[in-house]
Chain A
Amino acid sequence: MKTPTVRFHAASGVANDESTVQKEIVIVGLNHRSAPIEVRESVAFENSDLRDALARLRSFPSIQEGVILSTCNRVEVVAAVADSPAASSDITVFLNEQKARRSPGALDEHVYSYQGVDAVRHLFRVAASLDSMVVGEPQILGQLKEYYDAAQQAGTVGTILHRLFHRSFSVAKRVRTETGIGSGAVSVSSVAVDLAKRIFDRFDDKTVMLIGAGKMGDLMARHLQGHGVRSLMVTNRSFDRAVELAERIQGSPIRFEDFPQYLKMADLVIGCTGAPEVLVDAAQVDKVLRERKHRPMFFIDISDRRNFDAKINDLDNVYLYNIDDLKSVADENLQGRANQADKAESIVQDEVQSFIRWVGSLEQVPTITALRQRFDEIRRRELEKSLGGGLKELTAQQRGSLEDMTTAMINKMLHEPISQLKSNSEDQGEALLYVAALKKLFGLEGK
């Protein structure tokens, strides 16, 4: 099926543009699916280089506006261009030059390119996190905004990309609110925090005990801190390690022999040691619960071997999740996101169509205005002539009536053609044809 081309007329904000140059959108780049990480890294743009890179990009005559996007999962150039094929190859050259600085070799087999409607759809999908490694991830939108801002400051953004990017931001927002694509934790840490939120109402009055110095445990403790936990206890077989970790995360170190006595103060207990034997058993927890007057406890076991006795989960007011449990919840949520992705894709499709229509309608505005102005000019000139000549005996009131009549006449004559023009925005091709015809027939060119 032939992809319809999308052309934009633009009263461009960029200084040396002709205002009626037809432009298309082109996206060229590579992502985590088309290129391995080494290749992506070799093309990546540093933030410090960005301004220069954008200037270099603009220096290609085929490229009128450009934004460079460079994250760990994709490097893409979004551009508004006059000649799509030429621009595509220019951008490929541009990216190859970037790569050549770091390592030899061509990119061609890794690079993809989109034009017109496909480019619009691609950008919307990227913004909505549908093209991300983890569908539904929230970072991509922020990243997109950052790189857009950088390009704007460097002066390489004109009205086309301005409209395109702003629309992509609102599409992303729409997808997030109307689908569950970003919901449900998909990392072990966030699953644990989510579960903790089901159990505890607030975190700022809760205490976390971290047993062991594993990286995962550290991460989880920080995650919980990020959600308001202020009180942390850290214990480890090696007291020095415990002190070190405690300092890093602003917790209190506890000697390993002593930790059972402190259990009653802990609402959340994270186990991440490599110990082969069980550190806390069910009988212990039963006793601790009594001492705590049965205030609930959440045990998170993320060690490779079981740190906590599985029977702990059988007790009332205690909840025990190990790493397999957390992973399976994460997997379920990932599946849920995939299901929502279909809904998101159809929203994106809708938005692409409506964007095309909207841009098409914008094209009409200058032409319609010019047409009205032309008619009004003629009206006024003729009216002046008559009022100065054959009709100069008229009273002020009669002049007023004449003014009204001629204006009404013009409006009524223009009403039908203009509403026909507006109602034709469904088919952009036809609409542009009419706009072009009007311009030609009424000599509105150059307005």
Chain B
Amino acid sequence: MEALLVKLIAVIYLLAAAGYFYFVFRRDTTSRLPALALLIGFLLHTAVLMARFITEGFAGVALMGEALLFKSWLMVGLYLSIQLKYRLTVLGGIIAPLAFLMCLAAFAYDRTGAEIPPGLESAWLPVHVTLAFLGNAVFALAFGVSLIYLLQERHLKHKKMTALMKRFPSLESLDHLNYVLLVWGFPLMTLGILTGSIWAGIHWGYYWSWEPRQIASGIAWLFYGMILHGRITAGLRGKKAALLTMFGFCVVLGYFLWGDTIFPSRHGGRFQ
């Protein structure tokens, strides 16, 4: 039953994605339908996660498949909250397909009865995981915003005015949003890493173990820190900032998807 629901959620996100693309390329439509579809998908998504949480506890979000479900939920939720303040309908055209892919992957990944190994059950798990995932979700949005920025910038530089551009917000507001997301995402990521380290210290005895996961997170953290610093002091903005932000997220994403296969460790999907 639940598998069916997850599939349904994925389909709804796919419809929303299609709706957004249609909206972006045609003039005589509103974005209300895809936005509504996204909201409905999100509500269903929330219900499934809550049910999961009630029956399985936090284990329901820790393993690979569930993690994708949780992450995509955070991402969509964040996008919908941002929509309240910044009108970024076009970003929906990036978030919705991402959410669709993540839910599809969540469905496809092997999910045996998830159980957290004893000893790992502590309050640190949900705190660390949520903070880390939230940070990721923020950077996922920053990725989307940067992508749109780059598209718009390219059109302007190459002197091509297409109807598509009318749907995009101005470069200034995109850049500003990127900055805001970075300002929120970086502390979240920092706290995510800190809580993870503290928990590791408590549970295994050492805070930093040069695990691939920690290293990758560290690299990403330094990267984003660099961007934030550059923004504040050296006027790093616009195209360069957008490219770096996108690259940073690719690192995060890349590790999340393949890191465990390339670098198996205690972290991620297998708790040993």
Residues of A at under 8 Å CB distance from B? 178-180, 183-184, 191, 194-195, 197-202, 290, 292-296, 313, 316-317, 319, 321, 325, 328-329, 332-333, 336
Contact = CB atoms under 8 A, between A and B. Distances in A.
Interface stretch (B11-19, B64-72, B165-173): B165-173
Contact of B27 (A180, A200, A294, A319): A180
A317 B176 CA distance: 14
A294 B159 contact: no
Q: 4 nearest interchain CB pairs?
A: A293-B235, A201-B172, A294-B235, A201-B173
A179 B27 CA distance: 8
Interface string B137-161: 0000000000000001000110101
B161 A195 contact: yes
Given A199-B170, A295-B235, A319 B165 contact: no
A178 B30 CA distance: 12
Nearest to A336: B163
B87 to A, nearest CB: 11
Chain B interface: which size bin?
20 to 34
Nearest to A177: B28
A295 B171 CA distance: 11
A191 B157 CA distance: 15
Among B27, B152, B156, B159, max chain A CB count under 10 A is at B159
Contact of B170 (A183, A198, A319): A198
B239 interface: yes
Interface in B163-200: 163, 165-166, 168-173, 176
B32 to A, nearest CB: 16
A325 B170 contact: no
A317 B237 contact: yes
A436 B169 CA distance: 60
Nearest to B237: A294
A217 to B, nearest CB: 20
Given A198-B170, A199-B156, A296 B238 contact: yes
A294 B172 contact: no
A183 B28 CA distance: 12
Contact of B157 (A200, A313, A328): A313
A329 B176 CA distance: 27
Contacts of B170: 197-201
